[in-house]
């Protein structure tokens, strides 16, 4: 069954002066994929996400989303077309409640966030949808407290909630469990696992157990380049990968 790929990058390059952070990055994600992006620190993984989402402008290359070339389109418009990312470091709204934050994302998606003449409670459908998302991520009971009062793990879940609120076609998760202790990350990955198979996911992760459990395919990046790409079994036994990453990765 060959579906057209949902997200394609072709030859993405980016340098800051003499520092090359991305070199000839080409990848192709089919619909419903669960791809993992791994690599040592500084390999350029977050930079790649920044390039794909438009927060950084590539020096060369193209990005194609659902058949449409989005290389020249700004970040907010890419989100409107279904290309959504979460942040490795919590990038939330400290004084808004989770309900307000997710509702804001929902209203933005529905094009309702620009109306200033109608009161927020009158947007029942958006409120219900926002609450529903919070429920699926088990955040509903905290929906009314300011975000800064939430525990760190809950904030990471809220990161994902904001991503889901935009009804993504492609979701780029930047280390969703960053900073979350192993004992709690299970709940977080259950939430990720529960995401609809209609959505294509690319996630950056350092925990190999998680990677091998959830990913159908693994992309390995080193020093701005893609070293190799393959199934978990292939990557686990790949000699270069072991040397560069798994071997050098001491706990």
Partner 1 sequence: MSEPAPRSVDPQGLLRQQVRWRLLETVFWLAVLIPFFATPTYLVLCSQIAIAALFALSLDLIVGYSGLVSLGHAVFFGFGAYTAGLLSAKLGWNEPITGLLAAGFASMLLGLLTSIIVVRISHFALIMVTLGLCLLMFELANQAHDLTGGDDGLQGISISPVLGYFNFDLYGYTAFGYSLAVLFICFLIIRRVINSPFGLSLRGIRENPRRMPAIGSPMRGRLRTVYVMSATFAGIAGGLLAQTTEFVALDALSFQRSAEVLVMLVLGGAGRLYGGLVGAIIFMVARDQLAGLNPQYWYFWLGLLLVLVIIFLPNGILGGIAHLVSRVRAKK
In the complex, the residues that contact partner 1 under the rule CB under 8 A are: 53, 55, 74-77, 79-80, 84-85, 87, 91-96, 99-101, 103-105, 107-109, 112-121, 123-124, 126-128, 130-131, 135-136, 140-141, 143-144, 162, 165-166, 194
**Strand 19-29, strand 7-16: pairing:** antiparallel
Q: How far apart are CA 86 and CA 192, in angstroms?
A: 12
CB of 239 to partner 1, least distance (A): 38
Q: Which is nearer to partner 1, 69 or 128 (CB)?
A: 128
Residue 173, strand partner residues: 203
DSSP H or E run through 90: none
CB of 134 to partner 1, least distance (A): 9
DSSP H or E run through 36: strand 34-38
Query: How many CB atoms are located within 10 Å of the residue 212 CB?
Result: 14
DSSP H or E run through 151: none
CB of 93 to partner 1, least distance (A): 4
CB of 33 to partner 1, least distance (A): 19
Measured in whole angstroms, the distance separating CA 83 from the mean position of its chain's CA atoms is 9
- Tracing tokens 């350092």 back to the chain, one arrives at 206
CB of 242 to partner 1, least distance (A): 35
User: Is residue 173 within 8 Å of 192, Cβ to Cβ?
Assistant: yes
Would you state the structure tokens that stand for residue 178, as one six-digit string? Answer: 């960053």
Q: Which is nearer to partner 1, 31 or 80 (CB)?
A: 80
């Amino acid at each position: 069954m060959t579906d057209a790929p949902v997200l394609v990058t072709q030859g993405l390059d980016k340098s800051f002066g003499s520092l090359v952070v991305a070199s000839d990055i080409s990848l192709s994600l089919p619909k419903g994929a669960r791809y993992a992006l791994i690599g040592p620190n500084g390999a350029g993984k977050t930079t790649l996400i920044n390039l794909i989402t438009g927060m950084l402008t590539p020096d060369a290359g193209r990005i194609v989303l659902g058949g449409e070339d989005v290389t020249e389109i700004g970040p907010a418009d890419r989100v409107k077309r279904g290309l959504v990312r979460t942040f490795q470091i919590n990038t939330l709204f400290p004084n808004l409640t989770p309900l307000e934050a997710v509702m804001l994302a929902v209203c933005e998606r529905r094009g309702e966030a620009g109306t200033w003449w109608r009161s927020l409670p009158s947007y029942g459908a958006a409120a219900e949808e926002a609450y529903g998302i919070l429920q699926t991520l088990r955040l509903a009971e905290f929906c009314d407290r300011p975000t800064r009062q939430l525990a760190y793990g809950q904030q990471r879940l809220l990161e994902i909630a904001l991503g889901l609120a935009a009804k993504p076609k492609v979701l780029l998760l930047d280390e969703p469990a960053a900073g979350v202790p192993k004992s709690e990350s299970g709940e977080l990955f259950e939430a990720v696992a529960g995401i609809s198979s209609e959505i294509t996911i690319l996630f950056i992760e350092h925990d190999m157990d998680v990677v091998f459990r959830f990913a159908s395919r693994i992309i390995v990046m080193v020093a701005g380049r893609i070293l190799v790409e393959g199934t978990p079994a292939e990557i686990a036994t790949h000699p270069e990968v072991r040397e560069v990453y798994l071997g050098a990765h001491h706990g």
